[in-house]
Amino acid sequence: MERLIGTDELQPGDRRSVIVEDIPALVVRIADEYYVIEDVCSHDGQPLTDGPIADCSITCPRHGARFDLKTGAVQCMPATKAIRTFTVEEREGAIWAAPI
């Protein structure tokens, strides 16, 4: 597991780009839950960083593919392949993650 950020660094609804084991990733806080996903759309390889977040999903700002933040599952075309998610732990006042 790798330490990513302190729990006090994100407010609900915020996100932060990070690197986890050389993988571009995105930490997203929704209420008191933290999710870490690969920050790359499986449709065209573009970052998801600035995509809208709603109902525990993120939408690619480029072509509108939508992914579940918990599982990485595709929720809307044009993507057909899930995005990678990470195991997340909150401990010692920080968010830790590792690739699944």
pTM of the model: 0.95
Tens of pLDDT along 79-97?
999 999 999 999 999 999 9
- For 30-76, the pLDDT digits (tens) are 999 999 999 999 999 999 999 999 999 999 999 999 999 999 999 99
> Domain-by-domain residue ranges, the chain?
2-99
Exposure string of 69-94, with b = 16+ CB inside 10 Å and e = fewer, is beebebbeeebeebbbbbebeeeeee
- CATH fold group of domain 2-99: Rieske Iron-sulfur Protein (2.102.10)
Spatial distance between the Cα atoms of 82 and 54, rounded to a whole number of angstroms: 18
The stretch 13-17 carries a mean pLDDT of: 96
